[in-house]
Amino acid sequence: MLLKFRVETRKIKQPRIVVLRLSQDETGKPLERSLGSFNSKRSYQHIIEQLTEAERYEFDNYVATLAFSKTLFNTEADKVDRFIIKAAPDFKEALFAIWEEAKQWGITFTPEHEMLIGLLEKAKAVEQELSILTQGHFSALQKYGINIHQPAQDKENSTESEILFVTALKTARTGDRLAELFNEIASQKYGKSPKFKPHHFDFFINAKGKSTPPSFPKWYYTVAIDVLLELGIAPETLIPPELITIHWLRLNKQADILKTAALFDSVFPALRHNTRCHRLITREHMNSDIERMAKGKKYLSPAKAFEKWLEESIALKSSPRLETVISTFNRAFPALADNPFFMKLIASNLEKDSRTQGEES
């Protein structure tokens, strides 16, 4: 550590951050020399001008983490807690090297800020799932005013996914060859009508300057992925792996989650350990199980879907033992087997029924 940041508070003024350079004298005694101070209203340019490259790296990271806390949680510098992450020295050196080179090219890369952003996005995704499962009763980030729901990205994803067609067309070299591949895979693998024509790809040949792509079913992207694989191109190198997973699942979801995951891993070995992709697979099967639980009625909350299933499960009414209900539930909905939310629902429903029967007797 080359710098020390001391936060000084005043009763009225903004917290003041004093930047200290750390060093040692001849005897090894630690020394601190002030390079100046700043706050949210005062520039720190006078401090930056005195910093070495390594000191600037520490300074940029510190300022970025303060900005993160202030912007999202309205937390001033004197209220920020330490959040220490230990990492391999080689990794830290690599991050510094990337920051240093990126700065030369005008690219913004502040590792500690990127870590916080990445952690925030992951937390948003998990809280969103928890919010669905608990019918909105769980709130962590949301109670601080942070929107955990991602904005609609269909248009953006469509534009990004067009790269699949463009690359396939460039590799196949001609529209005729590409149409032939599309028809072969669409009909033989997915049982779709072989109706692709070379002119269907004209948009992608002359895509420049066109803002609206032709309308076509989303499963075309799934076929495009297969075409690229047939041509020896890894589609996950062209667009985000999560988007690949979404497109692939449209036509490749298997009877149960284990089979889907195994097939996915065999098709995309490079994504075998990609947790985000496998979470998407899990979520897809969970949603399917919840829809089946609701007897095909979409948009029912998980709890309402469960109530509907329990009401219509005649066998369970005659033998309402906890073990029986859990076993039946797990067999019926493997993607939700032993899911804590549903296990709690089962227990609470049986407890309620038992209490009702006791009152009646």
Looking at the chain, the whole-number percentage of residues with pLDDT higher than 70 is 84
Q: Angle 48-15-35 (CA atoms, 0-180°, nearest 5)? A: 30
Residue bearing the bigger pLDDT, 160 or 78: 78
C-alpha distances in angstroms, 60 versus 72, 111, 263? Answer: 18, 9, 45
- Give the span between the Cα atoms of 358 and 354, in whole angstroms: 6
Type of residue numbered 174: T
Could you read off the pLDDT of 178-220 as tens digits, one per residue?
A: 888 889 999 999 998 877 777 777 666 555 445 555 567 788 8
| More confidently predicted of 96 and 213 | 96
Asked if residues 164 and 225 have their Cβ atoms less than 8 Å apart, the reply is yes
Report the pLDDT averaged over residues 22-31.
90
pLDDT given for residue 254 in this prediction = 92
Q: Token digits for 329?
A: 């539930």
Contact 205, 187 (CB under 8 A): no
pLDDT tens digits, one per residue of 291-301 = 888 776 665 67
Does pTM top 0.75 for this prediction?
A: no
pLDDT of residue 155: 44
Least confident of 180-189, 256-265, 272-281: 272-281
**N residues, the chain:** 361
User: Bridge partners of 22?
Assistant: 32
pLDDT value of position 222 = 92
- A 10 A CB-CB count for 46 gives 12
Residue 62 pLDDT greater than 90, yes or no: yes
Which tokens sit at 104? 């030369």
Predicted local confidence at residue 273, as pLDDT: 86
For the chain, give every domain's residue range: 3-83, 154-252, 306-360
